[in-house]
Amino acid sequence: MLKLKIEHSINQRFQAILIIFLVLFCLSCRPDDQEDEEPPRDYLEQSLEDDQKLVQYMKSHYYNYDDFSNDSSEDKEIVIDTILSENANLKSLFDFAVETSVTLATNEGEIIEHKLYHIVIKDGIRTEDKPSIADSVYLSYKGKLLNGNIFDKKTNPVWFDTANVIRGFRYGLQFFSPGNFIQRQNGTIDFNQFGRGLIFMPSGLGYFNNAQTSIPTYSPLIFEVSVFTINKADHDNDGVLSIDEDPNKDGNPYNDDTDEDGIINMYDEDDDGDGILTKDELDGDDPDNLPDDSNNDGIPDYLDKNN
């Protein structure tokens, strides 16, 4: 009898544990399932909402512009603060910001206009060498949310391939000129007169509905950047710079795939798919640094299956 009772209570305890386990299991999986099922917000609506937030932020904040006009030292910190009633005469970030429009197609083919803002606080000396949207950039940066939280920071410069970064960065960096550098005897490199400033982007040019560590979904982002130097990129090493692999001449090399094999020209070693590598038919017989056009039809050989 006693034995039976114990068995019974063990059984009950087991059932209780099983029920608790099942409840916890369901509780733990339900929010994820719901998140997965939640469709992303409408791009256009979000773009407009983010723009309102960005404009409101820029109009209510300023940066220490006086410090930069009076002092040309390279390592001065950019400080952003709120405009209060006692300093309402200050120029706001919005007074300095330059707006550009970046149009992107959604997966459904809808064209959405995003507003991107930037402020060049110090122009770099190499104004002819601004990075394109398909170059590599050597930079340091600090990324912030509109509430001031810093979600990422690189004080020591890093190389970024703008083909592989969020769109707001890719399109924002092209306004910043790199600087000069000198190599010291001990091998260290000192940069001077490099470009510095701010980029403000809506979530549609950032991570949109993909939350990151420290970045909630649908967050507009602010970046402080210092652009030290750049490298003109030729991703497929075919002799044509990536930014110039743009036969439809819309300034965007990410939408050109001449042979329609699913590999865009900037990554395709044989752009016209005729079996001859671009580098071998670009400027072959009589090198003159101009693309060859054997049949004189205005289409260079490397983009012309029929030469």
Residues that bind Ca ion (CB under 5 A): 234, 236, 238, 240, 246, 248, 250, 252, 255-257, 259, 261, 263, 268, 270, 272, 274, 276
Task: Supply the minimum distance, in Å, between the C-beta of residue 74 and Ca ion.
Answer: 34
Contacts of 206 (CB under 8 A, 6+ apart): 166, 167, 168, 215, 219, 220, 221
Could you tell me if 97 and 117 are in contact, meaning their C-beta atoms sit under 8 angstroms apart? yes
Q: Given the complex with Ca ion, which of 51 and 268 has the nearer CB atom?
A: 268
Nearer to Ca ion, 41 or 279 (CB): 279
In the complex, minimum distance from the CB of residue 59 to Ca ion, in angstroms, rounded to a whole number: 35
Q: How far is the CB of 188 from Ca ion (least distance, A)?
A: 32
Instruction: State the nearest-atom distance from the C-beta of 61 to Ca ion, in Å.
Output: 36
Residue nearest to Ca ion as judged by C-beta position: 268
Comparison of 44 and 263: residue with beta carbon closer to Ca ion: 263
Q: How far is the CB of 138 from Ca ion (least distance, A)?
A: 20
Q: Which two tokens stand for residue 254?
A: 């990410």
- Smallest gap from residue 305 Cβ to Ca ion (A): 8
Q: Which is nearer to Ca ion, 255 or 295 (CB)?
A: 255
Nearer to Ca ion among residue 50 and residue 256 (C-beta): 256
User: For residue 276, which amino acid is it?
Assistant: I
CA distance 43 to 145: 19
Residue closer to Ca ion by CB (options 144, 170) is 170
